[in-house]
Amino acid sequence: MPLQTRMMPLIAPALAFGLLSGCASKGITEARPDHSRAWNLTHSVGMIDLEDTEVPSDQIPSGLGAAADMAIDVAYFMNSATLAMSFGDAFGLGLVGLLTSNQSHGERSTIVAWIPEDEVESRETAHIWLGDALKEATMRAMDELFIEGEPEFHNKLTDSFMRGTYTETKISGVKADGTKCGVSYKLHPENISELTNIPAFIAESTSGYQLYAGDEIVYPPFAAYCRSDTSLYQYIEFVSGISKYLPETVFIYTRYAELGEDQLPPMVHDHGKVLLFLKEEK
């Protein structure tokens, strides 16, 4: 009998047990005050490759204020009087250098999420709740930004030998000027942890489930597009617009992006604002 055939009876129960039983959450459980909020949020779901950039206080643009991890308006990145998509100073070079390094967690956009216990019937339905929340937030952002579109498919179940079982959603649309925009994401039930306490810096005194994002292969990919040929503004506006309508325990991480002379550092989208991996040098 071929080896693969002999192994299948052993593999199938093991996979089934993994999908049903879940795993313990992996990541920090308390905020580290010496790191940015972006760092704390991503490390809470196991994205340990991401690091902050230390910047001397006199090189932090005035628009960011003294607290480098404050929530920043998206429009700030498009204001020529402040950061203006210009990364020529030490502040910008530090951010770009960080995000172009070969760090696996930093090279992919993903979902940073905790699912409150009282929002779902059980661990087995947590990924469905999250998929629905992401779809609703996307559709609300599209309405707000006058993007005509609809889901091509939603929470479609797929079994993959290499990537396991996951649900997938794809939403696409177009603006009146012809700009095409869209979102796709995948959620793996096996990445949902057992019931645990959500870190207090995310939700006070709340139990829930972690969506683990630290695995090299099986992680929750998130892809968005809404680009012109010359600017990233519509892209960041769209992603931040989606984040504005997400539940309070759900965030989006986007990787470094560039288009022509436009560059965006890696960031966490926190309900309509953006957080940078940046801390003031002591």
Q: What is the reported pTM?
A: 0.83
State yes or no: pLDDT of 80 exceeds 50.
no
HEC profile of 140-160? HHHHHCCEEEEEEEEEEEEEE
pLDDT at 61: 60
% of the chain at pLDDT higher than 90: 50
Residue-wise pLDDT for 160-175, tens only, equals 877 788 999 999 999 9
**Band of the pLDDT at 2, cuts 50, 70, 90?**
very low
- Which of 40-44, 75-79, 233-237 comes out lowest in average pLDDT? 75-79
Query: 40, 51, 32, 33: which is closest to 266 by C-alpha?
Result: 51
pLDDT at 101: 47
State yes or no: pLDDT of 37 exceeds 80.
yes
Strands 53-55 and 110-116: unpaired
CA distance 132 to 43: 24
pLDDT at 43: 95
State yes or no: pLDDT of 23 exceeds 70.
no
Residue-wise pLDDT for 91-150, tens only, equals 454 554 455 444 577 778 999 999 999 999 999 999 999 999 999 999 999 999 999 999
Instruction: State mean pLDDT over 31-47.
Output: 93
CA distance 139 to 131: 12
Residues 276/230, Cβ–Cβ less than 8 Å: no
**Band of the pLDDT at 63, cuts 50, 70, 90?**
low
